[in-house]
Structure 1
Amino acid sequence: MNFYKKTNTAIFFSSVTEIPQYIWRELQCTSNVYFHPDYLISLEENNPQVTFSYLVLINKEKQSIAFASIQIIDFPLDRIESSLNKNFYQLKCFGRRLGLFPKLKPIKLLVCGNVFVSGEHGIFIKENQNKQEVIKNIAKAISSQITTTNISIYLIKDFIKESLFITDELHDLNYYSFNVEPNMALYLDKNWSTFDAYLDAMKTKFRVKAKRALKLSNDLVVKDSSIENIKTLLPEITKLYKTVSDKAEFNLGEFNLETYLSLKKNLGENYILKTYWYHNKLVGFMSGLINNDALDAHFVGIDYAVNKELAIYQRMLYDYVQIAIHQQLKVINFGRTASEIKTSIGAVPQGLTCYVRHKKSITNKFIKHFLSYIETKPFKQQNPFKSKTLTQ
């Protein structure tokens, strides 16, 4: 435990199962699936490559007012090299010839957030709190309490523009902010009562493109997965997942797909897993989570040998849309990859900001300069709809 401004106490737990039920009742955060113990325990029990811990902030009245999910990973620094601009690449190549830039080695990275999902899924703060003060107290507690695992860097992620007036307080604690690839979000018009209504809202060019993809994928057989067939298919879907994750330019951590068993068991119909078959062969899968009025697209797997001819990935994107319309949801969060193709179905970029700090003060001073070399990949923003405004 530690005290901050003599008002808040930070309590750490090394497992979700250690957190008493009264804390969940006081926080009232479990309507958000990402802060529900059933979701958190699914991640924790199936991903031993990650060290999980949790922080609860208690006020002077001894009431729980905030929660933070913390994950510690071994992070290979060479994963971020593809996100650095050509100026850094040229500098690195020249420096290595002089022996100044050794090959980057893995480090211990502490992440306050969710290493498997984009978005604000790491920190929950109750209403009617001084959120600027709370966010600083959480950061202070993390750096002062978690000191026994050789952590080099602290990362607090991913915040939308509307939250920055709170999270920019972290600059006072020597954190530096930087932008990452945006979350691509599709906001659904309330008039889209059917998938055909969604297609009808499109400009001719994009409607033709959608119908062509649906025609190409017509021979695919799409199946909903149960706990039983997930067990049977795990080796195959893991292989398909790896084909996609290996192409990703940036991943914080590998996801153990055995987690699907727990997620399906714990979350039921709110966790979606569909498989795609062609001539009785598994050629793809998609997963997603319904969280209140949002559908969050999670991991996918694709057999790239037949992806183009069967339009597998495009079909998956349209299937997410059909699910969200059927469930009368308001938004689909597609995550950070393949931004341009997602704009063709109506998704728009939602900027995300992260905060980072090195444990050593001297090294931390160089982080700001290093961050200036990170750049997000440009993409062409397309507007597939006839109307520029949606009816919410």
Structure 2
Amino acid sequence: MKTTLSHRIYTSVTQFPENWEDLAVDNIFLTKEYLEILEKSAPVNMTCHFIGIFNNSELVGIAVSQFLDLNQLDSFGDRDKCIKSSIRKIVFKNFCSHVLLLGNNMLTGQNAWAFSTKIDVKILQNEVLNAMETLKEQYKASGKKVHISSLKDFETEEIETFHPAMKKDYFQFSTQPNMVFTILENWKTEQDYIAALSKKYRDQYKRARKKADGIEKRKLGLQEIIALEEEIYNLYYHVAQNAPFNTFFLAKNHFRVFKEILKDKFLFYGYFIDNKLIGFNTLIKNGTAMDTYFLGYDDSIQKEKMLYLNMLYDMIAYSINKGFKEIVFARTALEIKSSVGAKPIEVYGFIKHESKLIDKCTQTIFNYLEPKTDWQERNPFK
């Protein structure tokens, strides 16, 4: 039968074709369950679209797209008080405020699409690009012109399969790497991990654990998350606000909705001193991988108790005990994640400005405005 591709764009998981899950089987972030969370609790400045690619009437590809309206943000993150940061805000507000993204801006890694193996991947990618053009036209008709189109986050071997149009029309960039922790097969308990550390990093582990005396860690259920929603959001917002750059802030009900829908696949750990919540972290079970998600903490206690480092050790211990093969620690805090054993994996994005004049300067502008991170990779193992 002749290949005749078409696309459909959905705004709700209730509209999905029945066999959507067949293509999402290897990635929880493309499943109906997770996409329902985006539908019900996306950041206020984000609109999510879900794309189905069809060969005649057969579903052969699925993809996720997000429209970001940066004009709705009061702040892009306030950590860096400098002229470059101020210029970045002005540029984004005036020339880059409407961003159409293929992928998921709330995650690190290739969560943009999944395809059937029946059809050449380049042909399917081209139809996804056609769907992006459809979305641009829809936004233009509604009075919101897309300024920037972007795709994220792809590893080197994935880029080798890209349709030529992507490499030709988009500027390829790389920012912070994805920090991934590999769990060795012979590690069955946390003690196996500790035994593999060199003396310097075993001492770091012992020091962090000693500092955490007096902190109670608890796995929270839905009702506890709901009861602590205000405190949780304040801790999250403090961390997000102090990031070097943000394009969204989570909705206050985000963690509640996550727990309601994903249930035991979503883990929420609270850290308490005298029954007061002073920090939290979240994890998502994604097949054999454990994905770290958002966290929050009281900064003064974090430093005193080495809370963030203890959270990393807790994530490692849980993942080893439960038989996971890797932990996706994502971006940010690269050096401390490296110090517990995570390794950097370069991921690349693609970007183009819809103004041809500005697009010619994209590389220069991007290199100037993108926050640079200087860090030293560590090797904590013997």
| Correspondences of 1:252-291 after superposition (within 5 Å) | 252-291=247-286
Cα distance between partner residues in 2 of 1:103 and 1:128: 41
The answer to whether the Cα contact below 8 Å between 1:135 and 1:170 also exists between their aligned partners in 2 is no
- The equivalent residue for 1:127 is 117
1:257: Cα distance to partner?
Answer: 4.1
Q: Deviations over 1:221-280 (max 9, x none)?
A: 011111111110000010000111011112231112412222212222111100000122
What is the SS of the residue equivalent to 2:146? coil
The answer to whether the Cα contact below 8 Å between 1:72 and 1:110 also exists between their aligned partners in 2 is yes
1:375: Cα distance to partner?
Answer: 6.1
Cα distance between partner residues in 1 of 2:241 and 2:77: 14
State the one-letter code of the partner of 1:220: I
- The equivalent residue for 2:5 is 8
What is the SS of the residue equivalent to 2:51? strand
What is the SS of the residue equivalent to 1:251? coil
Q: Please report the TM-score for the alignment, with normalisation by the length of structure 2.
A: 0.89
Cα distance between partner residues in 2 of 1:191 and 1:256: 41
State the one-letter code of the partner of 1:265: E
User: Among residues 379, 382, 386, which one is paired with 2:375 in the alignment?
Assistant: 379
1:70: Cα distance to partner?
Answer: 1.0
State the one-letter code of the partner of 1:148: Q
What is the SS of the residue equivalent to 2:351? strand
The answer to whether the Cα contact below 8 Å between 1:186 and 1:333 also exists between their aligned partners in 2 is yes
Q: Deviations over 1:27-70 (max 9, x none)?
A: 4313421011111111211224321111111114x211111111
Q: Residue 7 and residue 328 in structure 1: after superposition, are their counterparts in 2 closer, same or farther (change >3 A)?
A: same
Q: Does 1:45 align with 2:40?
A: yes
1:20: Cα distance to partner?
Answer: 2.5
Q: Residue 159 and residue 81 in structure 1: after superposition, are their counterparts in 2 closer, same or farther (change >3 A)?
A: farther
What is the SS of the residue equivalent to 1:151? coil
Deviates more, 1:131-140 or 1:184-193: 131-140
User: Among residues 336, 343, 354, which one is paired with 1:341 in the alignment?
Assistant: 336
- The equivalent residue for 2:54 is 58
Q: Please report the TM-score for the alignment, with normalisation by the length of structure 1.
A: 0.87
What is the SS of the residue equivalent to 1:57? strand
- The equivalent residue for 1:389 is none
Q: Does 1:350 align with 2:340?
A: no
Cα distance between partner residues in 2 of 1:103 and 1:39: 29
- The equivalent residue for 1:17 is 14
The answer to whether the Cα contact below 8 Å between 2:126 and 2:163 also exists between their aligned partners in 1 is no
What is the SS of the residue equivalent to 2:311? helix
State the one-letter code of the partner of 1:109: V
Q: Residue 313 and residue 365 in structure 1: after superposition, are their counterparts in 2 closer, same or farther (change >3 A)?
A: same
Cα distance between partner residues in 2 of 1:311 and 1:38: 35
Q: Does 1:217 align with 2:207?
A: no
- Percent identity reads 26
State the one-letter code of the partner of 1:121: N
Q: Residue 187 and residue 135 in structure 1: after superposition, are their counterparts in 2 closer, same or farther (change >3 A)?
A: same
State the one-letter code of the partner of 1:345: V
| Correspondences of 1:298-317 after superposition (within 5 Å) | 298-317=293-312
State the superposition RMSD in angstroms. 2.6
Q: Residue 283 and residue 102 in structure 1: after superposition, are their counterparts in 2 closer, same or farther (change >3 A)?
A: closer
Q: Residue 261 and residue 344 in structure 1: after superposition, are their counterparts in 2 closer, same or farther (change >3 A)?
A: same
Q: Residue 28 and residue 338 in structure 1: after superposition, are their counterparts in 2 closer, same or farther (change >3 A)?
A: same
Q: Does 1:34 align with 2:35?
A: no
State the one-letter code of the partner of 1:347: A
Cα distance between partner residues in 2 of 1:131 and 1:103: 33
1:312: Cα distance to partner?
Answer: 0.9
What is the SS of the residue equivalent to 1:148? helix
Cα distance between partner residues in 1 of 2:84 and 2:17: 49
What is the SS of the residue equivalent to 1:154? strand
User: What number of residue pairs does the alignment pair up?
Assistant: 369
Q: Deviations over 1:122-166 (max 9, x none)?
A: 211222431122212211221234323221111111111221112
The answer to whether the Cα contact below 8 Å between 1:113 and 1:158 also exists between their aligned partners in 2 is yes
1:364: Cα distance to partner?
Answer: 2.1
What is the SS of the residue equivalent to 1:64? strand
Cα distance between partner residues in 2 of 1:288 and 1:257: 18
The answer to whether the Cα contact below 8 Å between 1:220 and 1:278 also exists between their aligned partners in 2 is yes
Cα distance between partner residues in 1 of 2:240 and 2:25: 30
